[in-house]
Amino acid sequence: MATESTDVALLRKLEEELLDPEVRRSPERVGRLLADDFVEFGSSGRAYVKTEILAALQKETPDPGSSIMLTEFAARSLSPEVMLVTYRTVRSSERSANPRISRLRSSIWQKREGRWQMVFHQGTPSDC
pLDDT in tens, the chain (128 residues): 445 789 999 999 999 999 999 999 999 999 999 999 999 999 888 999 999 999 999 998 877 777 888 999 999 999 999 999 999 998 877 766 665 678 899 999 999 999 999 999 999 988 75
Q: Which of the listed CATH numbers 2.160.10.10, 3.30.70.270, 3.10.450.50, 3.30.465.10 matches domain 2-126? A: 3.10.450.50
Give which of 105, 102, 87 is closest to 8, Cα–Cα: 87
DSSP per-residue letters across 34-45: EEEEEEEE-TTS
Domain boundaries, the chain: 2-126
